[in-house]
Amino acid sequence: MTTTDIHDWAKAHAEDMVADVAMLVGYETPSRDLELLDTAAGAITAWMRERLGEPDRLVRHKLEGHGDAIDVTYGDPGSAGVLLVGHYDTVWPAGTLAEWPFTIRDDGTATGPGAYDMKAGLVTAVWALRALRESGAAHPPVRFIFNGDEEIGSPVSRPVIEKAAASALSTLVLEPGVGWDVKTERKGVGAFTVNISGIESHAGNDPLGGASAIHALAELIPELVAAQDHKAGTTINVGVIGGGTTRNVVAGAAHCVADVRASTTAEADRVAELFASLEASDPRIEVEVTGGWNRPPMQFTSVSRPLWEMAHEVSSELREPLEGISVGGGSDANFIAALGLPVLDGLGASGGGPHARHEHIVLADVPDRAALVAGILRRHLSQD
């Protein structure tokens, strides 16, 4: 079976793929709702069995306080294969589906909470393997890991993913793309909280006896903003501030939370050092910084280039060459790249609007992306 044959097969099953996206969107999966996540995880494993048959290995990693990591292998679990990574949690709270159901629109797109980010990606992964199995095409062992905590930084599933990636030939991450593209670079993501402790006093009777935490924070925020370097890809956004008790009290406490993005490890280190060195001009003020880098930068290196070239070759046979794009958001691919392992991201869906009400997928690209992933999987055999 050729790449074209696989593509034709996928296009013939496009309606079934879209129906599967609709089914998965129908399970609400906010990252911190364990009951809903557990229900969805059960539905996903049942769906994988229905579409792919009984797996050679299935484990639901129980991760305390978070959704299970679904770990499924088709093929010899003891042999090196290709790892497909995706997440089934979303940013949308329970109840969103009632007012925003999965809807196919006249413009050739479909919308619904989590359709783009990233339940269509799970469908792409499963149908890619089904295309190969249905056609009898040879492929390496395929291991899926679908986690339920990605939208909150994968705090507990990260070790599971890293360990699996270390034993794989390569990793494909099924986060969405935009058009006909994949993601070769992602910024690192950090969350830093600056806590200020001052001295309370009466603002009218004893203004000099106090040391205002709010005033100190107001001095430090411009220092943080000035440390941005947009040309280098570094942004620092102070998104939350708070502090004080009432207008006539010199504030004894204040804080801010900053979202930080960096394209390179050097920039990430520079920003971390900046936060660690923060000091107020008033020596009576104490500054404490918590948090740090959640996801390291994902940079395109020679390690991942063969995987990119493989995808590029398959894509060119399907319809046209792939575009590799760099984006500001992070994913589980960041962890894998930081380990020096081959990884390619953004293979799941075409569309836009992640984390927004205009979230949508491009329906015509659903079978194309399944065929692309299938072709990459098959192409691994010729790389041994």
Per residue in 236-290, pLDDT (tens digit) is 999 999 999 999 999 999 999 999 999 999 999 999 999 999 999 999 999 999 9
Cβ contact 6:374 at 8 Å: yes
- Maximum C-alpha span of the chain: 85
pLDDT in tens, 275-319: 999 999 999 999 999 999 999 999 999 999 999 999 999 999 999
CA angle 60, 65, 70 (to 5 degrees): 20
What structural domains does the chain harbor?
A: 3-186+298-383 (3.40.630.10), 188-295 (3.30.70.360)
- What are the backbone dihedrals phi and psi of residue 167, each rounded to the nearest 5 degrees, phi first? -105, 5
Question: Would you state the pLDDT for residue 381?
Answer: 85
Alpha carbon distance 362, 226 (integer Å)? 39
Render pLDDT for 36-47 as a digit per residue (tens, 0 to 9): 999 999 999 999
Q: In angstroms, rounded to a whole number, what is the distance separating the alpha carbons of residues 63 and 148?
A: 9
Q: Supply 17's token pair.
A: 């793929």
- Rounded to 5, what percent of the chain is helix, strand, coil? 40, 25, 35
Record the tokens describing residue 297, joined without a space.
Answer: 């930068």
The whole-number pLDDT of residue 383 equals 59
Percent of the chain with pLDDT over 90: 97
Q: How confident is the model at residue 384 (pLDDT cuts 50, 70, 90)?
A: very low
Query: What angle is formed at CA 252 by the lines to CA 248 and CA 253, rounded to 5 degrees?
Result: 120
pLDDT in tens, 95-112: 999 999 999 999 999 999
Q: What percent of the chain has pLDDT over 70?
A: 99
Stated as kind and residue range, the H or E segment containing 361 is strand 360-362
Q: Which two tokens stand for residue 188?
A: 């690192």
Q: What is the pLDDT of residues 41-98, one digit of tens each?
A: 999 999 999 999 999 999 999 999 999 999 999 999 999 999 999 999 999 999 999 9
The Cα 72–Cα 37 span in angstroms is 17
Q: Is 183 helix (H, G, I), strand (E, B) or coil?
A: strand
pLDDT band at 186 (very low <50, low <70, confident <90, very high): very high
- What's the average model confidence in pLDDT over 10-39? 98
Q: Flag whether pLDDT at 1 surpasses 80.
A: no
| pLDDT of 146 higher than 90 | yes
Tell me what pLDDT residue 2 has. 87
pLDDT tens-digit map of 114-126: 999 999 999 999 9
Query: Within 13 A of 27's CA, how many CA atoms are on the CB side?
Result: 24
* Long-range contacts, 136-140 (Cβ 8 Å, 24+): 136/1, 137/1, 137/6, 137/374, 137/378, 138/378, 138/381, 139/75, 139/377, 139/378, 139/380, 139/381, 140/75, 140/79, 140/80, 140/81, 140/82, 140/169, 140/377, 140/380, 140/381
User: What mean pLDDT do residues 148-166 have?
Assistant: 97
pLDDT of residue 214: 98
